[in-house]
């Protein structure tokens, strides 16, 4: 017998898990792109740079000319002068009417790029140079072992005046020389910190490592005008960065613990600036201020001639812009900043293989 009372059921429309996943992904992508549009870069785009070799890493101003180093050669940007060396140029510094070039040894040249002095030390290479009123200091790092020599030279006749040797550090320490060219601060990864002079006499020495914390990658900043020593390092045990503020006698005045990695720290008379993975943090009168921008992270910061220059990176999987923030002015670019300097009203910036100049006060 025919079933006249058969009930016909409506088929339910069901989405597969894969289809649901695609819809959720597309919805999130639309929201992301909308936010991306809202926070997309707005400002001047950096263009028309001066081409330099890809290995260019440093720029300076010498006799009103831009000077840059690439691999083994030093050039002026107008191509009027150049000088080459048998080894790669590690760094170079301009001081008064001379250029001091660090390679496997120190070479000093005049305004015509003529060599006037070469200083060498067997088994060591120059790592850094410090300038004072009547002399300068070279830091020599040993080739085979963790040995460091600090040599003080007369800035007129280049005669070595004093030498201080540090033998066989277990790890490379943070080391700096005070502006007077006499006091030396050494901070080691075991927490030992000492202040000494070029005669090797220890002015004071102490260990500032907090209990049960390993000091890793020690760094520091000395500001003699404010009478302040800032030490900072990473601690893997607590996944923090620790900052200690000391006076010139080595007394600890303040401690900060950050749950974020410090990529850079510098200071002026009033503030301490921290460049972390996510933001720029400023300590003013022992109070934290944070500067963060959605979809951006700080790439680097500089404090040059009382100008704070922040470089922010636009982080997303669609584009990779960065921008320079100076005097409330945004200038956008792509690439990696290698060096930056200010001369009068212009900022010169080396990005990849181009040098750009920007009018700061336009």
- Condensed to tens digits (0 to 9), the pLDDT of residues 154-171 reads 999 999 999 999 987 778
Instruction: Walk across the sheet containing 124-131 and list its strands.
Output: 124-131, 135-142, 148-154, 160-166
Distances 14 to 9, 11, 21, 255, 279 between C-alpha atoms, Å: 15, 9, 13, 59, 45
What pLDDT, on a 0 to 100 scale, did the predictor assign at position 136? 95
pLDDT of residue 144: 77
**pLDDT reading at 362 higher than 70:** no
Average pLDDT, integer, range 168-191: 85
CATH number (1.10.3720.10, 2.40.10.480, 1.10.1040.10, 3.40.50.10160) of 202-292 reads 2.40.10.480
* pLDDT of residue 88 exceeding 90: yes
What pLDDT sits at residue 278?
79
Mean of per-residue pLDDT scores for the chain: 83
Return the HEC string of 151-208. EEEECCCCCEEEEEEECCCCCCCEEEECCCCCCEEEECCCCEEEEECCCCCEEEEEEC
- DSSP assignment letter at 113: S
Confidence category of residue 271, pLDDT binned at 50, 70, 90: confident
Residue 234 in this model has a pLDDT that exceeds 90: no
CA–CA gap between residue 105 and residue 336 (Å, rounded): 28
Percentage above 90 pLDDT, the chain: 40
- Cβ(285)–Cβ(301) below 8 Å: no
Q: What is the pLDDT of residues 99-149, one digit of tens each?
A: 999 999 999 999 999 999 999 999 999 999 999 989 999 999 998 778 999
């Amino acid at each position: 017998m025919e079933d006249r009372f058969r009930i016909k059921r409506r088929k339910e429309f069901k989405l597969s898990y894969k289809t649901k996943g695609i819809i959720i992904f597309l919805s999130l992508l639309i929201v992301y792109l909308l936010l991306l549009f809202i926070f997309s870069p707005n400002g001047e785009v950096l263009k028309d740079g001066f081409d330099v070799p890809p290995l260019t890493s440093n720029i300076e101003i010498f006799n009103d000319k831009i000077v840059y180093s690439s691999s083994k050669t030093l050039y002026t940007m107008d191509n009027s002068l150049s000088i080459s060396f048998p080894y790669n140029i590690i760094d170079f510094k301009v001081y008064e009417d001379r250029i001091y070039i660090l390679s496997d040894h120190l070479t000093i040249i005049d305004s015509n790029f003529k060599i006037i002095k070469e200083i060498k030390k067997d088994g060591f290479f120059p790592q850094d140079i410090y300038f004072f009123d009547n002399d300068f200091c070279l830091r020599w790092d040993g080739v085979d072992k963790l040995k460091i020599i600090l040599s003080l030279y007369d800035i007129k006749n280049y005669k070595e005046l004093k030498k201080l040797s540090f033998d066989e550090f277990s790890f490379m320490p943070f080391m700096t020389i005070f502006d007077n060219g006499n006091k030396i601060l050494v901070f080691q990864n075991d927490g030992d910190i000492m202040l000494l002079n070029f005669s090797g006499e220890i002015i004071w020495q102490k260990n500032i490592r907090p209990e049960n914390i390993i000091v890793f990658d020690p760094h520091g900043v000395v500001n003699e005008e404010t009478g302040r020593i800032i030490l900072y390092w990473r601690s893997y045990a607590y996944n923090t960065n620790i900052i200690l503020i000391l006076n010139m006698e080595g007394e600890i005045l303040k401690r900060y613990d950050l749950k974020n990695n410090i990529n850079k720290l510098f200071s002026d008379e009033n503030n301490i600036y921290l460049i972390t993975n996510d933001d720029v943090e400023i300590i003013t009168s022992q109070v934290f201020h944070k500067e963060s921008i959605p979809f951006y992270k700080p790439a680097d910061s500089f404090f040059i001639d009382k100008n704070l220059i922040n470089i922010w990176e636009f982080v997303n999987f669609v584009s990779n812009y960065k921008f320079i923030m100076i005097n409330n002015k945004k200038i956008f670019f792509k690439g990696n900043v290698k060096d930056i300097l200010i001369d009068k009203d212009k900022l010169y910036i080396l990005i990849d293989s181009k040098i750009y100049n920007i009018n700061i006060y336009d």
